[in-house]
Chains A and B, each alone.
Chain A
Amino acid sequence: MSFPGVAETRPLLLYSGSRGGACRRFEPFVGDPDVLLEGVAYDPGCPAGIYVFARGASAAGLTVDPSEPGSELWLTSALTSKVLSIPLASPIRLPLHLWLVADETDVAQATALRDKLLDAAYPIMDAMGTGLTLDTISSVLGSGALAYDCASAAAIIGEPETYEQGRINVYFVKNYLQSDWTPAYNCVDVLHPEMIFISWGYDNIPKPTLAHEIGHSLGLVHPQTEDGPYGPVQIWGHTFEVDPFKSGNFMWTGPAITNASIGQLFALNFSSESWLNLDGSPFKRPQARPCQDDWGAGACAALNSFVPGGWPPP
């Protein structure tokens, strides 16, 4: 199996379908750059699909829908020829509108933080094999009369000067929620995952903050959430099966991001809750589906599954 368009990289392939006489789900293979899959067969009883992630390229998906005659042809043809070539396009350019909510005297500070977080976000999105890069435009907004927080989302959206439809809107505000000193917030709680707030007046904002918030926009959640003795809490270690302080996971809140799980890469691109796949999105993928919100495998790859040997490869 080869991947034209991929240069100097090792793609990650997830295979679902019949192999070795058993149904496999999201079985990972790292190419060098090709992948040799042995024992593959077509079995209409086994949901079949191949998904590919690679640095510098868009994610790709090929699936078989048994209710759709002919959708298995790519697989049966590949089994006959014993070769499957999956061309990978350039990364999707994720459109962001970066709003600097700052008075004239503070614009330089807000701009400096924006640039710092962008510098961190570009290599994270690329090296993790998310299939995404950023397409940004920036505007300056005076601090003005509008309250810039998620509770005011409707008012912000109602003003074309403060919100751009069709983009993820990132607001760099002085100090989100004032007294809380939170580095950032994504408005997914109020059903606006395309709205992100980042505090430029907070001195110690971690560099991966923007990438992490984009992860929320694209349907990712924190490593683990379940009911604890005093409400919903995160239980560390369950998802990663390693100490999250060491893991540098995409959605952990550490000082650097150094890995993403298989399920996270999958959900970013193929979850119907990802902003990319919402109704009306020009990026919507035909393979998008509702992903399970627990941590095991289901309709989507498991959020807590990792590539053996680590991902991304050096």
Chain B
Amino acid sequence: MILPRHTSRGPARTGAMAILFTLTAACAAPLTHEEQLTVERYLVCFECPAPLQDVRRLAGMKPRATVDSLDVALRRGPTVQRTAEADSLLNAGYTRDSTWRSRNARPALPPRDSVVAPDSRSYVDGYRARGALGMGWIRTARALRYLDQAIATGQLPPSVLAAARFARDSIPSANGPPSP
């Protein structure tokens, strides 16, 4: 049986629109909790190539949400809660190190605030810098726009500004990260 043309076209168009809708929805979908943790794991990485690959793969599926998450990291740094947790660890580490030095006849550490506060700032700045570098690797128009905006504020700490400029201007556009 040959169907009238209008009856065969309708479902085909509907199908095409449905696919388009699904793709658009995926691109715009927010990150799940696990996906947000993937981004955060990159933001605090010590050995960054693998966590960066995870973030880039995530950006392949959810470019907007991934870049938005990195942009928040660049502009604001870790959440207040994360910073408080980091400060708590730094304070515990300071106490431990002071005791160890005293027990081992080593020179005393400088006063607590002059050690913990710079380390806390460094933690926050490292997190922010990593947000910029992640966007530099993803390199969508949205990511580059965010980098431009962040640089233009003139309010980034020096190490974060350097990372943002590097991410904006010096990361190759096509190639993946070099092999470890």
Give A residues with C-beta under 8 Å from B: 8, 119-120, 122-123, 126-127, 149-151, 177-187, 189, 203-207, 209, 212-213, 228, 230-236, 243, 245-246, 248, 253-258
Contacts and interface: CB of A to CB of B under 8 A. Distances in A.
Contact of A206 (B48, B82, B123): B123
A181 B163 contact: yes
Contacts of B138: none
Nearest to B44: A253
B164 to A, nearest CB: 12
B24 interface: no
Interface of B: 34, 37-38, 41, 44-50, 52-54, 57-58, 61, 82, 85-86, 88-90, 92-93, 96-97, 99-101, 103-104, 119-120, 122-123, 125-126, 129-130, 133, 158-159, 162-163, 166, 170-172, 177-180
Given A181-B133, A181-B166, A236-B37, A258 B92 contact: yes
B90 A255 contact: yes
A310 to B, nearest CB: 11
A182 B48 contact: yes
Centre residue among B48, B93, B99 by max chain A CB count within 10 A: B93
Given A177-B180, A234-B41, A212 B46 contact: yes
A181 B119 contact: no
Contacts of B58: 230
A203 B163 CA distance: 10
B26 to A, nearest CB: 13
Contact of A182 (B47, B166, B179): B47
Contact of B89 (A149, A181, A255): A255
Which applies to chain B's interface (DSSP): helix, strand, loop or mixed? Answer: helix
B93 A248 contact: yes
B130 to A, nearest CB: 8
B35 to A, nearest CB: 9
B34 A228 contact: yes
Given A207-B119, A231-B53, A151 B180 contact: yes
19 contacts: A122-B100, A151-B180, A177-B180, A179-B166, A179-B172, A181-B129, A181-B130, A182-B45, A184-B46, A207-B119, A212-B46, A230-B61, A235-B34, A236-B37, A245-B82, A255-B86, A255-B90, A255-B93, A256-B93
A150 to B, nearest CB: 5
A180 B49 contact: yes
Given A150-B180, A179-B171, A123 B46 contact: no
A248 B171 CA distance: 32
Centre residue among A178, A180, A231 by max chain B CB count within 10 A: A180
Contacts of A149: 178, 180
